[in-house]
Amino acid sequence: MQSPTIRDVYRARQTIAPYFQRTPLHYSLGLSELLEAEVYLKHEEYLPLGAFKSRGGINLLSNLSDEERRRGLITASTGNHGQSIASAGREFGARVLIGLPEKANPVKVAAMQALGAELIFHGDNFDDAREHCERLAREEGYRYVHAVNEPLLIAGVGTAALEIIEDLPEVDVMMLPLGGGSGISGACIVAKAVDPSIEVYAVQSEAAPAAYLSWKQGEIVQAPMDTFAEGVATQSGYELPQSIMAELLDDFLLVSDDDIRRAIGLLVEKGHTLAEPAGATALAGAVKHAGRLRGKKVAITISGANITAERLAEALKVYQAG
């Protein structure tokens, strides 16, 4: 797999432009005062599917051959990636099968069903579903779409970072959540191509540290996964994003699940923003490591807003408890 370049991100922007409007980058007075920094929220939850992954799906399907689309696509997802591929498949007339954990987020499951995807429930987590989909692709001849190790997906989601720099050329720090690593990889490629002094931080739950350990140790590592934040819940690092992060990522921060819950509440109260757990993870990292952001211009990506009422109520309870 060859890492995408800044040119690939610009090509992706041309590809996806007819399908999406750019998302806003809004200054947050409340969060700026709290963090003693100039804080901007990149509102990827404003995209039609409520998450940043939409960008990658359109870019991927646009570049597939007619033969690949006829064969059908199969992928594994905890929700947002699956919605992206399902939506793009509907747009381009391709059959899409999606493998999901047995207890996948019901909001995301309903969305994928509405988009016409064929759902396959298997296992307790993303990696169980992924391995099952890989077997089906080999046996049935589907075009397998890895949720992370796909250069076209990374180039597509990297367009969000391009918009940040265009809207805030003087940005000092970009903070993004990390699950598999497509979003952070795209941000690294864009930021370092434009200005190597822009710092890029990945944030993940300490209850799912596989990507962090892979980055830290310089090799693919598997680790236990017990986070409630399904969008950052992976048991393994992945080759392509890890190779990009090894070269370009400035730092990798871990936060607790309660840090993420408090960040959901903080976004509601201070940022007037609804975020799913993964969508609030970058802010959780900013709060925990506020000292390194003080006085800087900081762009925090809200990657998605597909949260259930139960999860929201649970998060607000933790936030209100302090």
- Asked if residue 60 and residue 27 are part of one domain, the reply reads no
- Asked if residue 221 and residue 300 are part of one domain, the reply reads yes
243 in catalytic set: no
Q: What angle do CA 205, 318, 34 make, to 5 degrees?
A: 80
303 in catalytic set: yes
Each residue's pLDDT tens digit, 113-132: 999 999 999 998 888 999 99
- Inside any domain, residue 187: yes
Q: Specify which residues 202 forms β-bridges with.
A: 176, 252
Q: Specify which residues 201 forms β-bridges with.
A: 175, 251
Q: Which listed residue (28, 42, 53, 182) is catalytic?
A: 53
Among 293, 78, 80, residue whose Cα is nearest residue 201: 293
Q: Which listed residue (28, 62, 182, 303) is catalytic?
A: 303
**Tokens at 192, concatenated:** 């370092």
Domains identified in the chain, total number: 2
pLDDT beyond 80 at 163:
yes
- Asked if residue 62 and residue 156 are part of one domain, the reply reads no
- Asked if residue 128 and residue 48 are part of one domain, the reply reads no
- Asked if residue 249 and residue 176 are part of one domain, the reply reads yes
Report the chain's C-alpha Rg in angstroms: 18
Mean pLDDT along residues 249-260: 98
- Inside any domain, residue 252: yes
Each residue's pLDDT tens digit, 211-230: 999 999 999 999 999 999 98
- Inside any domain, residue 138: yes
- Inside any domain, residue 189: yes
pLDDT beyond 80 at 150:
yes
To 10 degrees, the CA torsion angle through 249, 182, 21, 79? -140
- Of 105, 122, 148, the last residue of a domain is 148
Among 231, 100, 138, residue whose Cα is nearest residue 178: 231
Phi, psi (degrees; rounded to nearest 5) at 53: -60, -20
Each residue's pLDDT tens digit, 44-97: 999 988 999 999 999 999 999 999 999 999 999 888 899 999 999 999 999 999
For 203, 259, 316, the CA distances from 278, given in Å and listed in that order, are: 9, 12, 15
- Asked if residue 301 and residue 190 are part of one domain, the reply reads yes
319 vs 126 pLDDT, higher one = 319
- Asked if residue 46 and residue 194 are part of one domain, the reply reads yes
- Inside any domain, residue 263: yes
Each residue's pLDDT tens digit, 1-19: 799 999 999 999 999 999 9
- Asked if residue 240 and residue 222 are part of one domain, the reply reads yes
- Asked if residue 213 and residue 81 are part of one domain, the reply reads no
- Inside any domain, residue 1: no
- Domain of residue 276, CATH code: 3.40.50.1100
- Asked if residue 196 and residue 114 are part of one domain, the reply reads no
Among 203, 292, 291, residue whose Cα is nearest residue 249: 203
- Which pTM does this prediction carry? 0.93
> 186 and 158 in contact (C-beta within 8 Å)?
yes
What is the domain extent for residue 111?
54-148
Highest mean pLDDT among 94-103, 108-117, 259-268: 259-268
- Asked if residue 279 and residue 168 are part of one domain, the reply reads yes
